[in-house]
Structures are given as C-alpha cells and as structure tokens.
Amino acid sequence: MSFILSAQREPETIVTAFEQYRAYLASNAASFPSGAHALATSEWYFDPRDHRCPHDAWLESITIAEPATGERSELRVTAIRVRLLGAYHDGFIELFYSRVIRYSLSSPSSVRGLGDWLYDEFRVAPGGHLIHEIEWAGFPRDEGSRWIIEASDVEFQWISR
C-alpha cells in the first residue's frame, strides 16, 4: 500500500494523501528504521524548495556492491549507493543502503536517462526493514522508471558543489 506516489497524487487528493502518510509514519515510528523515519518526518525532505529535497534531482550514479568479510570473503552483503545531482545543481544527494535485503530497478526506457526523481516513499516491510520506493519521470513521461529497495535502513548525505 502506498500513500504519496503517482497514483495518490491527484490535485484534489494530495493533501489528504500526505496527511495519511504522516499518520502512517507516526503510528509506525517504533518499528521504522531510524534513518528513514528521520528523513520522512523532516520538514525539508519532501519540500521541493529545499535544495536537499530529491524531487527533480538527476541520477549521477548507482553503485551496487557486495562488501565481503570472512576467511574466504564468503560472508557477503549487498550495499547500494545512489548519487543524485540536486534539482538546483548546487550539490549532490547521496543515499546509502548498507544492508540490502532485496531490490528491483525497473526502467522501461532509459535511452535519455531516467529523467527527474519524481516521488518517493518510505514504508516498513514485514520484519521491520525499510522499503524505499522511487518513481522517475522517464522519457516519454508515461514510461517512468520505478525502483524498490528493501534494506535495513538508509543514510542520507548532502554534499555542496
């Protein structure tokens, strides 16, 4: 169930959708991963006037790695780092998922890139993991990409240009 993604963003329902999302965040605060909860409940994360907000940012890179430990490097985890050029082009947004449970990166068309980061939403998965769902604008607009990353949590960093 999503709250503030494209399907819920009709002009007449967007205020209600955000109210329901805020209520969801409050009622699940105890089970929510702390980094994601801090982002989702901050005053700035969903405010496109704030330069740290990912709305309209562009993908610079995505790195999927399997850092390993153990005698034979047999103990592996999956980690994902996403680097975005902020919407105002004055800095970079980095999102780091150090322990990824599963992910799906879907892009029906990426000939001209993924386009703008449109909407995203943090939810709690059964078992207490984070689900971060991201929608990209795409070219043409009706063929936007969708990413779903399930991880232990997310770390955010703003890097001034």
pLDDT on residue 85? 98
Query: What percent of the chain has pLDDT above 90?
Result: 73
- b/e burial code for range 107-139 (CB count within 10 A of at least 16 → b): eeeeeeebbbbbbbbbbbeeeebbbbbbbbbbe
Taking the whole predicted model, whether its pTM rises above 0.85 is answered as yes
Find the mean pLDDT for residues 30-36.
97
pLDDT of 95 > 70? The answer is yes
